[in-house]
Structure 1
């Protein structure tokens, strides 16, 4: 059976809320496998078996699912769409009211009003390099400069 993560854009991914501290995450889901501190970017990456959590100023701002961590046994649902199982995903997400997709650039596409960045799902396939990134409302402006 696949592990299911229901996403509420800008609010939560599964039972993990944006804005929560690393300590609160550990209380809720346990110790991570690995922690990488990147002082240049001002980010802390916290690795769990299914996802990577990104903290800035001690608050959760990104949740990332990647092929690096193996997404085969996951179901990631946003607005009733299973990100990993839906055919024509980019078209379906683009047709959602107020999704506000960016242009695809080097395999990356943002859906600003869904708090979602996809890599390797569009026209430019990136073998074993797919990434699904949900970002907090505070990261929306930063993501708009990436794609």
Structure 2
């Protein structure tokens, strides 16, 4: 049975709530498979079986899903399954609150949902598709990064 991660924009992704600390998430999902510290970005990444949890100052700010796990999970928002749905971008874009961006290097941001889709358009920039769900505090980062890249 697939694990379902329902997105509530800027609040939660399944059982994960933005602002949770590493211990709270480990209490739900157990020990991570790996931990990566990024001193340049000031991030700590806990890699779990189905997702990567990104922390800044020990607070959850992003959740990544990689294509290699797409057959074992569903990522949902507004009754749209982002995985396994060839019309996902069209469906998300039709909702005014989604506030889609333009594609940059194979990425599209839905600023109103706090979602970044990478690799869903043909590009050499990505080796696999990914979904990033981000907190409201990361909105400016995603806007700035994808406008200046």
Q: Shorter-chain TM-score: what band?
A: over 0.9
- The SS at the match of 2:25 is helix
Cα deviations across residues 56-96 of structure 1 (Å, max 9, x unaligned)?
Answer: 011000000012x4221111101110001222211111111
TM-score (norm: length of structure 1): 0.93
Query: For residue 90 of structure 1, what is the aligned residue in structure 2?
Result: 89
Query: For residue 52 of structure 1, what is the aligned residue in structure 2?
Result: 52
Alpha-carbon distance change, 38 to 3 in structure 1, aligned in 2, over 3 angstroms? same
Question: Contact 2:105–2:125 (CA<8 Å) still a contact in 1?
Answer: no
Aligned residues: 146
Query: For residue 16 of structure 2, what is the aligned residue in structure 1?
Result: 16
Alignment partners' CA distance in 2, 1:122 and 1:40: 29
Alignment partners' CA distance in 2, 1:145 and 1:108: 13
Matched, 1:120 2:119: yes
Question: Contact 1:116–1:134 (CA<8 Å) still a contact in 2?
Answer: yes
- The SS at the match of 2:49 is coil
Deviates more, 1:53-62 or 1:123-132: 123-132
TM-score (norm: length of structure 2): 0.91
Q: How does 1:1-147 map to 2 (within 5 A)?
A: 1-67=1-67, 69-122=68-121, 124=123, 128-147=127-146
Question: Contact 1:76–1:82 (CA<8 Å) still a contact in 2?
Answer: yes
Alignment partners' CA distance in 2, 1:85 and 1:108: 18
